Amino acid sequence: MESVIFITEGDSASGSITKSRNVETQAVFSLRGKPLNCYGLTKR
């Protein structure tokens, strides 16, 4: 079974995707705040 998740920046960006998606296989997740770019960071 295939599934897709769309990650958007805020509710306004997810509005049109939410209306046109296939609810059986596609999900929308809206980020709130600024995403942290953790590329190159290490655990302490």
Q: Report if pTM > 0.85.
A: no
How much is the pLDDT for 17? 86
CA separation for the pair 21, 2 (Å, rounded): 14
How much is the pLDDT for 26? 93
CA separation for the pair 23, 13 (Å, rounded): 17
Find out whether 10 and 30 touch, Cβ atoms under 8 Å: yes
How much is the pLDDT for 18? 86
Of the candidates 15, 17, 34, the residue with the CA atom closest to the CA atom of residue 26:
17
CA separation for the pair 4, 18 (Å, rounded): 13
Of the candidates 6, 44, 40, the residue with the CA atom closest to the CA atom of residue 23:
6
Per-residue pLDDT of 1-44, as tens digits, reads: 799 999 888 878 888 888 889 999 999 998 887 777 888 888 88
